[in-house]
Amino acid sequence: MDNYSKNEFISLFTDYIHNKLNVCYKYEYEYKNYKKNEDRNASKNIFNDVLKSKAEKYYIFYNELIEWNRKINLTSIIDPIDFIEKHVIDSLMLLKLLKKNYNININKDFNFKDDINIIDCKDNETEDNKIKLMDIGSGGGFPGIMLKIFNPEIDLISVESIQKKCNFQKYIAGKFNFKNFDCINRNIYELKELPLVNAITTRAAFNLKELIKLIDKIKLNNANKNLPVDLFFFLSKYSEALTIEKQEFNDKILYIDKFLMYKNNYNNYNNYKDTNNEFKLIANFKIKYIN
């Protein structure tokens, strides 16, 4: 593993979680007398133990990924640092949007330091419900498996057209004893009707033109009856989100609800409309059938 030991991997992972995902100990930035010091210290120890446990799972996943990658093409990213940054952290950025929309609990001792980089475009009330997520074209499990490892409570359905990649995901699911997980080995366009979900995501599986085609062709089957379905797309430019929103679809309406701009630890997101690729972008659309 490029001479990285298990402990070095765990140290790298926790550093990235703190510094890039901005997940922190719950009481770290709260008023020091909010709780007694002994209670805060005990909670902080629990936080560190939980974070270490998750890091160990990603270490196991990484080694399995490298081993399987020798036989089948799962990823071109094999360096541990690149894996953590470009696969794990990039995927887990979606948690910030999921927490805005759903009743999802990372851990009672976890917190995001801030959500300044989430821009709300609509003044909508969010539904307090459980996330039922479908990841389309997830390959080796990005972002779906990455999210499931960090938040086992997420109901996850992966749609992957390549059987060997689907087999890898099922193997990982068995290794981690995932509940409420399935990998459907089909092309998304072959499914006459989607499984019951309330959110759909895809990362690097479709270009802009293909995303528009996907939205037009898929048949929604919302787990929450007549509520809109959330679409979470990893895009390269803000202009791509606007292009999608301006499209006219045969039987659906779609609009941008919010989006997440991120790059390292920038604190100023005022220039979020710039299209110079300085930021990465996850766009959250709402989509539903025309009544």
Q: What are the pLDDT digits (tens) for 186-196?
A: 999 888 778 88
Containing structural domain, residue 201: 6-289
pLDDT of residue 123: 54
At residue 119 the predicted structure's pLDDT band, cuts being 50, 70 and 90, is confident
Name the percent of the chain lying above pLDDT 90.
57
When the pLDDT of each residue in the chain is averaged and rounded to a whole number, the result is 85
pLDDT of residue 36: 62
Query: Has residue 176 been placed in a domain?
Result: yes
Task: Provide the angle, in degrees to the nearest 10, between the axes of the packed helices 163-175 and 37-69.
Answer: 140
Query: Has residue 138 been placed in a domain?
Result: yes
Chain-centre distance for alpha carbon 203: 9
Query: Has residue 82 been placed in a domain?
Result: yes
pLDDT of residue 58: 97
Q: CATH no. for residue 112?
A: 3.40.50.150
Name the percent of the chain lying above pLDDT 70.
86
pLDDT of residue 265: 42
Residue type, 133: L
* pLDDT digits 0-9 by tens, 208-233: 999 999 999 888 887 666 789 999 99
Please give the tally of structural domains in the chain: 1
pLDDT of residue 267: 41
Query: Has residue 1 been placed in a domain?
Result: no
Query: Has residue 248 been placed in a domain?
Result: yes
* 219 or 242, higher pLDDT: 242
pLDDT of residue 124: 55
Indicate yes or no: pTM above 0.75.
yes
The 10 Å CB-count burial string (b at 16+, else e) for 98-111 is: bbbbbebebeebbb
Peptide bond into 80 cis (omega under 30): no
CB atoms within 10 A of CB 161: 17
pLDDT at 33 over 80: no
Read off the pLDDT of each residue in 260-265 and give the average, rounded to a whole number. 71
pLDDT of residue 227: 84
pLDDT at 18 over 80: yes
In terms of average pLDDT, the best of 20-24, 44-48, 214-218 is: 214-218
User: Residue with structure tokens 């929309």?
Assistant: 101
**Lowest-pLDDT choice from 11-20, 99-108, 121-130:** 121-130
Query: Has residue 99 been placed in a domain?
Result: yes
* pLDDT digits 0-9 by tens, 66-117: 999 999 999 999 999 999 999 999 999 999 999 888 877 777 777 887 666 7
Query: Has residue 159 been placed in a domain?
Result: yes
Query: Has residue 95 been placed in a domain?
Result: yes
pLDDT at 180 over 90: yes
pLDDT of residue 56: 97
Read off the pLDDT of each residue in 46-70 and give the average, rounded to a whole number. 93
